[in-house]
Amino acid sequence: MTAHRQTWLDALRHAARRLGEAGIEAPLRDARLLLGEVLGADPARLILLETDPASEEDLHRFSELVTRRAGGEPVSRIKGRREFYGRPFEVGPGVLDPRPDTEVLVDACLARLPRGGRLLDLGVGSGCILLSVLAERPDASGVGVDVSESALAMAQRNAQEICPGERVAFHLADWARKGWAQTLSGPPFDIVVSNPPYIPSADIADLDREVRSFDPLLALDGGRDGLDAYRRIVSAAPGLLCPGGWLILEVGIGQAGDVTALAAAVGFSDLGALRDLTGRRRAVIGRRPETRG
């Protein structure tokens, strides 16, 4: 009598049980995503493979990925890829895992960038905002700034895949340092966009473990009241933008009013907020006046 050889369906059920016991919210979905990664199969093909016997080698690899997921590591980090604005971005330990809600900023840039326009992305991370805009707009160019060398290396790799060529440049700078904005060369920008760190320092310990343990602290920590980066960026923005240029800032929950007030204090006009798909105020926008008052 031959022993029953484990199928991929058996392995999936076992993995989903492990993930469920570890407190993972959608255990079967995540188990399928990880198995798809191991077998190089999309969801439709995976269904066809479910009744196949599982090979020892692939089973071992699958079990390793399931163990990482059970430890709280997000699926995108395990895969090393995250879909953003319809394109695959490489993600790794040095960068924030791009969030779907940030796509609102891409739409806002695309709606306001003039023909042949120049875009500056402060805190570029994986490059998800800057590169998504430039990939949609072959006439435009842009610069991505970050204080993290590993983030810039990742953004550069993503640029080679998503927007190769001379239209994009990256620059290492720390907006907390005096004179950082003067280190940027070239004409003023039509848009300054940023998704800066905005979590108040004291709230970081209470974040979900998937965020707290896997997104870099540098990408999260917004200082005592969460507004440190906004103060720096908003005060530098008038000098970086051309007259009539737009400032577009992602904001955290409850921060839209404070960030709008910061922008109003340095003379921005046409101030407003953009809502994400859940109806929450996700970004603050403002315009540099044509003439400085």
Ligand X SMILES: C[S@@+](CC[C@H](N)C(=O)[O-])C[C@H]1O[C@@H](n2cnc3c(N)ncnc32)[C@H](O)[C@@H]1O
Residues that bind ligand X (CB under 6 A): 95-96, 98, 102, 123-126, 128-129, 145-148, 151, 174-176, 195-197, 218-219
Q: CB of 238: closest distance to ligand X in angstroms? A: 18
- d(C-alpha 269, C-alpha 286), whole Å: 6
Residue closer to ligand X, measured from CB, 8 or 198: 198
Task: To the nearest 10°, report the CA torsion of 100, 282, 206, 155.
Answer: 50
- d(C-alpha 250, C-alpha 194), whole Å: 6
Q: CB of 277: closest distance to ligand X in angstroms? A: 16
Q: CA-CA distances (angstroms) from residue 62 to 3, 35, 57, 119, 145? A: 22, 6, 9, 42, 37
- d(C-alpha 118, C-alpha 130), whole Å: 10
Residue closer to ligand X, measured from CB, 140 or 145: 145
Q: CB of 149: closest distance to ligand X in angstroms? A: 10
Q: CB of 249: closest distance to ligand X in angstroms? A: 11
Residue closer to ligand X, measured from CB, 145 or 163: 145
Q: Are 222 and 198 in contact (CB under 8 A)?
A: yes
Q: CB of 130: closest distance to ligand X in angstroms? A: 8
Residue closer to ligand X, measured from CB, 142 or 197: 197
Q: CB of 76: closest distance to ligand X in angstroms? A: 12
Residue closer to ligand X, measured from CB, 174 or 270: 174
3-state secondary structure of 146: strand
Residue closer to ligand X, measured from CB, 98 or 286: 98
Distance of CA 71 to the CA centre of its chain: 22
- d(C-alpha 195, C-alpha 99), whole Å: 11
- Closest among 133, 230, 228 to 189, alpha carbons compared: 133
